[in-house]
Chains A and B, each alone.
Chain A
Amino acid sequence: DIVMTQSPATLSVSPGERATLFCRASQSVSSNLAWYQQKPGQAPRLLIYGTSTRATGIPVRFSGRGSGTEFTLTISSLQSEDFAVYYCQQYNDWPRFGQGTKVEIK
């Protein structure tokens, strides 16, 4: 089984600052990596797929990079609506999510 590990568990950031979230796979997932955003009481929302392709309607301040086992999601300038939990998900094998990174207001 491919295990997805996200870090940090919690990231405290001030509005307007840059946030970088990390996702590591226990073995290569090629570029088959997606990112989702989840706000309290809501379903997740797809942000990024194929490591770096933004989903429809996702602002350009969200960007993804990486390949193989190491991936990042960067939010270039945090807006108030970006404070949420973010999950990575690999789909190279049976789909599995990471445990999430909570981005909170500093």
Chain B
Amino acid sequence: QVQLQESGPGLVKPSQTLSLTCTVSGGSVNSGSYYWTWIRQPAGKGLEWIGRIYASGSTNYNPSLKSRVTISVDKSENQFSLKLSSVTAADTAVYYCARTTVAGAVVDFWGQGTLVTVSS
């Protein structure tokens, strides 16, 4: 059973960079069958796809966030990471890391989510 766990600061100041890491267990980020994905959800609102990374390091980002997002993978630690720059209060959300199928962008495993608040 694959498990994913987000970690990182719960509070980020405006204009700074949000950084989160997802640790994967029970599976490998080096698998060619999956993308490793970040999704977020503002309180009381819907889900927004941020971006994904493949084992090769190839990435796809949400066009609306592309200029501020970087997703990377660390195969030695079996982790992948999210960096979101120049954050504002609108970036306050629960951030989920997830595994998505290569065949289609279907999320079959989710992390528990971590709340990141942007505030001074």
Contacts and interface: CB of A to CB of B under 8 A. Distances in A.
Interface of A: 32, 34, 36, 42-46, 49-50, 55, 87, 89, 91, 94-100
B108 A98 contact: no
Given A94-B62, A94-B63, A44 B46 contact: no
Given A43-B96, A43-B112, A43-B113, A97 B106 contact: no
Contacts, number: 45
Contacts of B96: 43
Given A87-B47, A95-B49, A55 B108 contact: yes
B111 to A, nearest CB: 7
A43 B106 contact: no
Given A43-B110, A43-B113, A94-B63, A100 B105 contact: no
Contacts of A49: 104, 106
Nearest to B104: A91
18 contacts: A32-B104, A34-B104, A34-B107, A36-B107, A43-B112, A44-B47, A44-B107, A45-B110, A49-B106, A55-B108, A89-B105, A91-B105, A95-B49, A96-B49, A97-B46, A97-B47, A97-B48, A99-B46
Contacts of B104: 32, 34, 49-50, 91
Query: Which label, helix, strand, loop or mixed, suits the secondary structure of the B interface?
Result: loop
Interface of B: 46-49, 60, 62-63, 96, 104-108, 110-113
Nearest to B64: A1
A46 B105 CA distance: 12
Nearest to B109: A46
A87 B106 contact: no
B60 to A, nearest CB: 8
Contacts of A34: 104, 106-107
Contacts of A100: 46
Contacts of B107: 34, 36, 44, 46, 89
A49 B108 CA distance: 10
